[in-house]
Amino acid sequence: MRVLVGGGTGFIGTALSQLLNARGHEVTLVSRQPGPGRITWDELAASGLPSCDAAVNLAGENILNPLRRWNETFQKEQPLSLALQPEFLQGRNTSGPGKVQGENIQMALSPNGEILRAKGAYYQPSLTAEYDEDSPGGDFDFFSNLVTKWEAAARLPGDSTRQVVVRSGVVLGRGGGAIGHMLLPFRLGLGGPIGSGHQFFPWIHIGDLAGILTHALEANHVHGVLNGVAPSSATNAEFAQALGAALGHRAFIPVPSTIVQAVFGRERAIMLLEGQNVIPRRTLATGYQYSFPELGAALKEIVA
């Protein structure tokens, strides 16, 4: 299969490209920067989609980047990057080389997934509710509305192209993502639960996220929304304990909510201080088999 991966230069895109290549697929990346094996978004807008069987979009800003202030400019940039979507997915989707051909699949991982990364912002934070792909959400704050807008932008009304949206949890893997920021304090024995630690922490091993995306590309029966989270849920305190155990340290120094608020600002801090129990019911029903269903084993593999 010839697969176009938008934002494929990043943490998840690299893992996905490696898996797709290993399974014999041909990958072209879409990036803001030109380079070998890539096309740029400008080239895409000017010339249309190159001939391909499937397109996956992973492009997006890291919303939890503490070095960027969560001001109006940053907020405005989010919908701006979403504006690429209709052009990318719809504008050229009519005939010839501009059409996604063959298997006819378009797939999207939320570009504001850093929201989801922190907690699956589509679903309302709760200490008790359980959310699967059919649960209501996407309408209670700025971030959840952004996810709704983005998912709508990726949808092609009336188009026969198979479409999948993966709502990802916090992606755990070597060399990037959330773990990249946590390893040093935990290795120094300074890590611990965030805030109360009771909030849920929807997580997934990067190998499984790449696996779910690949499964969705390869299996024709998969369509619609899939939750990209592990089948075993954990709270933030359980995650801190498991990461400490994987590193051979105790992780008991809590990070007070006031510090999280000072670093990220109040609005973004909510993403870390509150959480949701997200269940991958549809993902499992499509037949996907997890390589890392349990948190302890996933973390041991990552820090080994």
What number of CA atoms fall less than 13 Å from residue 228's CA on the CB side? 33
Neighbour tally for 101: CB within 10 Å: 15
In the list 58, 216, 217, 237, the residue contacting ligand NAP (rule: CB under 6 A) is 58
Give yes or no for residue 95 binding ligand NAP (CB under 6 A).
no
Give yes or no for residue 277 binding ligand NAP (CB under 6 A).
no
Q: How far is the CB of 206 from ligand NAP (least distance, A)?
A: 8
Whether the CB-CB separation of 273 and 264 falls below 8 Å is answered with no
> 91 vs 189, which CB is nearer to ligand NAP?
91
Residue type, 110: S
Q: How far is the CB of 124 from ligand NAP (least distance, A)?
A: 18
Residues 157-216 that bind ligand NAP (CB under 6 A): 168, 170-171, 176-178
Residues 75-94 that bind ligand NAP (CB under 6 A): 77, 81
Dist CA 78 CA 62 (whole Å): 10
> 176 vs 254, which CB is nearer to ligand NAP?
176
Give yes or no for residue 59 binding ligand NAP (CB under 6 A).
yes
In the sheet with 52-57, reading across from the earlier edge strand, the strands are: 38-40, 26-31, 2-6, 52-57, 100-109, 162-168, 224-228
Q: Spell out, one character per residue from 105 to 144, where the chain touches ligand NAP: x when CB under 6 A holds, - when not.
A: ----xxx-xx-xx---------------------------
Give yes or no for residue 23 binding ligand NAP (CB under 6 A).
no
The dihedral region occupied by 134, where left means phi > 0, alpha psi between -120 and 50, and beta the remainder, is alpha
Q: How far is the CB of 246 from ligand NAP (least distance, A)?
A: 18
What are 136's two structure tokens?
A: 């209501």
Give yes or no for residue 280 binding ligand NAP (CB under 6 A).
no
In the list 3, 4, 9, 48, the residue contacting ligand NAP (rule: CB under 6 A) is 9
Q: Report angle CA 5, 88, 178 to the nearest 5 degrees.
A: 45
- E strand or H helix at 171: strand 170-172
Q: How far is the CB of 44 from ligand NAP (least distance, A)?
A: 11
Whether the CB-CB separation of 92 and 48 falls below 8 Å is answered with yes
Whether the CB-CB separation of 277 and 200 falls below 8 Å is answered with yes
Give yes or no for residue 229 binding ligand NAP (CB under 6 A).
no
The residues binding ligand NAP (CB under 6 A) are 7, 9-13, 31-33, 58-62, 77, 81, 109-111, 113-114, 116-117, 168, 170-171, 176-178
